[in-house]
């Protein structure tokens, strides 16, 4: 078991490493200097791909081979997406999808 000061060290390292991943792009490309064309291009196309990555990241722990085989997740994601295309109401899509998911995993 670590001592309290060692635990504080570990937390400090986690904080600093997390901040490094958040601050690095801003430090490398400060607003005062022109940002390279390639980075400007990435800044434009990356958001769409990154949100896609985030969708999959939030679903990464579903197991298609066992349990419910990811069926509650797939149905709920499809309902959220369909409802949002149809009604374009963020609250409605999120609330209906989440309640549906909570019901499905209890069946």
Partner 1 sequence: MNKQATVFAAFRAAFPITVPILAGFMFLGIAYGVFMNLSGFGAGWAFFMSLLIFAGSMEFVAVSLLLGAFNPLGALLLTLMVNARHLFYGLSMLEKYKGTGWKKPYLIFGMCDESFSLNQSATIPREVDRGWFMFFVTLLNHVYWVAGATIGGLLGSFVHFDLEGLEFVMTALFVVIFIEQWMKEKVHDSAMIGIGVSVVCLIVFGADRFIIPAMLVILAILTLARKKLERETIAAEKGEPL
Distance of CA 8 to the CA centre of its chain: 27
Under 8 Å between Cβ of 78 and 57: no
Distance CA 2, CA 88 (A): 51
- CB 69 → partner 1: shortest distance, Å? 15
Between 90-104 and 71-87, two packed helices, what is the crossing angle to 10 degrees?
A: 160
- x/- contact string, 1-40, with partner 1 (CB under 8 A)? -x---xx-xxx-xxx-xxxxxxxxxx--x-x---x--xx-
Site residues, partner 1 (CB under 8 A):
2, 6-7, 9-11, 13-15, 17-26, 29, 31, 35, 38-39, 41-61, 73, 76-77, 80-81, 84-85, 90-91, 93-94, 97-98, 101-102, 105-106
């Amino acid at each position: 078991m670590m001592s309290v000061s060692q635990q504080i060290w570990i937390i400090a390292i986690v904080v600093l490493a997390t901040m490094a991943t958040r601050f690095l792009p801003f430090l490398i490309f400060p607003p005062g200097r022109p940002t390279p064309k390639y980075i400007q291009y990435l800044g434009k196309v990356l958001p769409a791909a990154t949100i896609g990555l985030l969708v999959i990241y939030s679903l990464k722990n579903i197991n298609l081979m066992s349990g419910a085989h990811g069926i509650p997740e797939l149905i709920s994601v499809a309902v959220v997406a369909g409802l949002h295309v149809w009604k374009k109401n963020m609250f409605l899509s999120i609330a209906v999808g989440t309640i549906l998911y909570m019901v499905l995993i209890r069946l």
